[in-house]
Amino acid sequence: METPLRRNRDFRLLWMSGLFAVLGSQMSALALPLLVLKETGSAVQAGSVGTVSVGALLVTMLPGGVMADRVERRRLMRLCDVGSLTAVTALAVAVWFGHAPMVLVLLVAAAGAVLGSVYGPASFGLMRAVVPADQMGTATARLQARSQTVRLVGPLVGGALFGVHPALPFVAEALGLLLSTICVALVRTRSRAKTVAGPVFSRRELTAGLSFLWGLPYLRTVLLVFGLGINFAFGALTFTALSVFSDLGRSGVGGGFVITCVSAGALGGALIAPRIGPDRHARLLILATCWMCVLTAWTMAWLTQPLVAGVLCAVAMCLATVASIGFLSTLLIVTPEDRVGRVQSAAGFLSSIVQPFGPLAGGALLTAFGGRTAFLVIGCVLAVSAAVVTLAPSARTAPVPPAEETDATDPLPAPGLPVPGAVQAQAPAPAGLSRTRRRD
């Protein structure tokens, strides 16, 4: 008889570890640019913090997946936590004593991104050893609900602490990382990857995850069209909505309401996902998300009430979050155990690489043609993506999980915890797979 998630000790520890770490990272994500702005008065230098963080994350995401498949994952997670704790503690001490050079701030931002790109794939690989295959969808939904809740609360807490003293958000993050390290250290399960001969960071190893995704027509079609196309267009849509409903910056109430609805929709999707079984209704969720995004864009072209726009965006993001949970849980199941890290990092890389360009495209359309035409054009891009996912034969056939053999190098479970084995095929649906500086 399988252990329920609420009684799965190692899953609870992983959940709490992520809670402490993500809360700290969300506080510092707001505090870092504020610190630079306070010290230098330069918005350009403050913006460089985010640029460095995103750039470091994209550059190291694929190598991070390789490391997660070559090092015992629990040990790797502990090393990442200790590294992050060291960097953040150094910054907290520097800020507390009134001297935080720009070089140190950028190094901390880059270190957080690099270590996060390693920790994320390792944590997903370890979770596969901790959680049975038929509970993966529920487990992923609970992780998403945790992360979405923290994203709502973290910046508020970080801003309040920064107002008291600029060092406090970083002190709080250091405490969170310390608690995260303790939680990971208490996990009993081990996830030991198979040893492979040859260079660790060879071209073959770095592209193994991309090759796996490309080799399965279903994953290739859904990830490229839904993961890249919808992520890009929805980013353009939300930025355009923020600009239009904020009256091009003259009032932040309308635009802020729309963005708040987007966050609320993501949280709602994570909360309801376990009740509807996203891995069992993935194709329906994919289609519903795509066409809901089309409806949202075209409706906003003609109706200019922030309330209507906010409700539509919330529903679209709710559906996208549920579909994303279905995709991620299925991806963990259908991927061979020795490639979990590389495949997960490759999927995250593909979904993340287009996100910075969505707001740029939305801004360009808004400047050139105005709000109504911008929404109509974005709706057309979304409609093309929706049509491809609806009509493409490859998007109708779910991938089949591998038949894995158990040997001495397979994950070593804690006593009483089942090892994920062969399961029935489930259909993935990617959206919103990108991660911020720390893991989700």
pLDDT of res. 312: 92
Question: Binning pLDDT at 50, 70 and 90, where does residue 154 land?
Answer: confident
Contact 437, 116 (CB under 8 A): yes
- Distance, CA of 182 to CA of 37 (rounded, Å): 34
- Per the prediction, the chain carries an average pLDDT of 79
pLDDT reading at 435 higher than 80:
no
In the structure encoding, which two tokens stand for residue 221, read together? Answer: 């079609």
> What residues form DSSP beta bridges with 180?
none
The residue among 304 and 92 whose pLDDT is bigger is 92
Q: What is the pLDDT of residue 178?
A: 93
Instruction: Assess contact for 130 and 2: CB atoms under 8 A.
Output: no
State residue 432's pLDDT score: 35
- pLDDT tens, position by position, 267-295: 888 888 878 777 677 778 888 999 999 99
Does residue 248 carry a pLDDT above 60? no
pTM: 0.72
Spell out a b/e string for 332-344, using b for 16 or more CB atoms within 10 Å of the CB, else e: bbbbebbbbbbbb
Determine what percent of the chain falls in helix, strand and coil, rounding each to the nearest 5.
75, 0, 25
User: Residue 157 above 50 pLDDT?
Assistant: yes
131: pLDDT strictly greater than 90: no
Span 325-358, pLDDT tens digits: 887 777 777 888 778 888 888 888 887 787 778 8
